[in-house]
């Protein structure tokens, strides 16, 4: 079933298709944790269904059955890939499972020029699965180099007949204007708070994403699910409204990212950092050991994102935004951080933005060193009061 907040986008697409106005390319833009990939999968399934109705795909034709097995001869996904993945053909494949979950790897993944070139060839072949269309999903277009974008441009300009390209990107700004101007755009907006909470608090959603193919063995799937759940440190602590609020705040309000955080327990680690910071500032001492050790439990990226969110909340609190809207300030007693000077907070924001925008250029220990330096500053502010 489609996630509640994605329904309106899906409905809009279905009515365009039914009205005979299916675009030849659609760009879905939105934070990864909003579920754009799942939306793309449903759209592809609808387009390739042999008996679609206004309610959706039939779920019983050969094409729909193949989608249930997460593969379809008339649909291919262009994934970002490492060199190894590309050489094993996993950059452009009928395997749709990567839209649900992809194993994390150490090597960097990019959207390759060669992958883009393969798309045109595939779309020019005729459909084989009894559908009238062919669909390509480009997952991770924001990682496309200019060369890769140019390689796909011609296909965008002169689309093959009866083809649909769905391009997924974190934001529209990162795409070339020439690409943007030729596609229909779908920007996934912020998820309404009630829908986000309803999703996070529903126990049947509180499970790690696992590839489930309909023809797979049920017992095997259950065993796999159980094993995966046991790996989720975050499930040892009940998922409360408070945890959900903090996880959402730390995930740019994207429910799927927030769920990932809740399952891993990284929200609890983040809360510990804020608690340690609050205690340190409350005491007004220069004792940073607890803050630093709590901070080290998070990845560099999480450290930066936590501190940015926290500073932003403190700034909002200073500007009289109601505390109920500021989960970190509200639940971690961080109102005390209001004592910190405005220019110090702005300066910290600038530094963090700098780190976040240029992750490959900043040595791994840089965030900690920067954070340490302004932690000292925070404390001297607090001491002055």
**CB of residue 65 to Zn ion, shortest distance in Å:** 8
| DSSP 3-state of 71 | strand
**CB of residue 134 to Zn ion, shortest distance in Å:** 16
C-alpha dihedral over 313, 316, 317, 318, to 10 degrees? 130
Q: Which is nearer to Zn ion, 96 or 111 (CB)?
A: 96
Compute CA distances 46 → 39, 41, 259, 314, whole Å: 11, 9, 27, 45
Q: Which is nearer to Zn ion, 49 or 135 (CB)?
A: 49
H or E segment and range at residue 263: helix 255-264
Neighbours of 361 (CB within 10 A): 9
Q: Which is nearer to Zn ion, 59 or 124 (CB)?
A: 59
Q: Which is nearer to Zn ion, 15 or 178 (CB)?
A: 15
| DSSP 3-state of 207 | coil
Q: Which is nearer to Zn ion, 45 or 112 (CB)?
A: 45
**CB of residue 46 to Zn ion, shortest distance in Å:** 9
- How far is it, in rounded angstroms, from Cα 298 to Cα 271? 11
**CB of residue 130 to Zn ion, shortest distance in Å:** 10
Neighbours of 128 (CB within 10 A): 9
Q: Which is nearer to Zn ion, 33 or 57 (CB)?
A: 57
**CB of residue 40 to Zn ion, shortest distance in Å:** 17
H or E segment and range at residue 26: strand 25-29
Q: Which residues bind Zn ion (CB under 5 A)?
A: 49, 57-58, 61, 64
Q: Which is nearer to Zn ion, 27 or 135 (CB)?
A: 135
Strands (E), 75-234: 75-79, 92-93, 134-139, 163-169, 184-187
State the number of CA atoms in the 13 A half-sphere of 239 facing the CB: 28
DSSP string, 96-136: -GGGT-----SS--BB-HHHHHHHHHHHHSPP-SS-S-EEE
**CB of residue 10 to Zn ion, shortest distance in Å:** 15
- How far is it, in rounded angstroms, from Cα 336 to Cα 357? 29
**CB of residue 5 to Zn ion, shortest distance in Å:** 24
- How far is it, in rounded angstroms, from Cα 196 to Cα 292? 31
Compute CA distances 360 → 252, 286, 367, whole Å: 22, 31, 12
Q: Which is nearer to Zn ion, 58 or 211 (CB)?
A: 58
**CB of residue 64 to Zn ion, shortest distance in Å:** 3
């Amino acid at each position: 079933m489609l996630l509640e907040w994605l329904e309106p986008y899906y409905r809009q697409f279905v009515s365009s298709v039914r009205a005979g106005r299916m675009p030849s390319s659609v760009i879905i833009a939105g934070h990864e944790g909003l579920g754009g990939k799942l939306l793309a999968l449903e759209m592809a399934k609808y387009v390739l269904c042999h008996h679609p109705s206004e309610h959706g795909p039939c779920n019983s034709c050969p094409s729909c059955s193949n989608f249930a097995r997460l593969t379809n001869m008339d649909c291919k996904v262009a994934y970002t890939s490492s060199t190894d993945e590309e050489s094993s053909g996993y950059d452009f494949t009928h395997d749709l499972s990567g839209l649900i979950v992809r194993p994390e790897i150490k090597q960097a993944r990019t959207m390759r020029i060669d992958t883009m070139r393969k798309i045109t060839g595939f779309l020019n072949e005729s459909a084989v699965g009894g559908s009238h269309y062919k669909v390509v999903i480009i997952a991770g277009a924001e990682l496309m180099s200019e060369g890769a974008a140019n390689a796909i441009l011609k296909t965008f300009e002169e689309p093959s007949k009866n083809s649909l390209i769905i391009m997924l990107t974190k934001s529209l700004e990162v795409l070339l204007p020439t690409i943007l101007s030729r596609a229909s755009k779908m920007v996934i907006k912020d998820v309404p708070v009630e829908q986000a909470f309803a999703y996070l608090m529903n126990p049947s959603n509180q499970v790690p994403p696992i590839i489930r193919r309909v023809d797979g063995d049920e017992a095997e799937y259950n065993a796999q699910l159980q094993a995966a759940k046991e790996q989720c440190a975050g499930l040892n602590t009940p998922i409360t409204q408070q945890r959900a609020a903090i996880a959402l705040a730390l995930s740019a309000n994207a429910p799927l990212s927030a769920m990932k955080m809740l399952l891993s327990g990284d929200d609890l680690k983040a809360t510990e950092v804020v608690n340690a910071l609050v205690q340190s500032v409350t005491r007004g001492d220069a004792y940073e050991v607890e803050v630093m050790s709590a901070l080290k439990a998070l990845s560099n990226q999480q450290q930066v994102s936590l501190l940015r969110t926290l500073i932003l909340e403190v700034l909002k609190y200073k500007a009289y935004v109601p505390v109920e809207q500021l989960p970190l300030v509200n639940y971690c007693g961080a109102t005390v951080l209001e004592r910190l000077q405005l220019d110090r907070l702005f300066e910290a924001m600038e530094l963090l933005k700098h780190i976040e925008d240029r992750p490959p250029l900043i040595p791994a220990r840089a965030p900690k060193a920067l954070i340490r330096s302004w932690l000292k500053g925070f404390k001297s502010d607090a001491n002055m009061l």
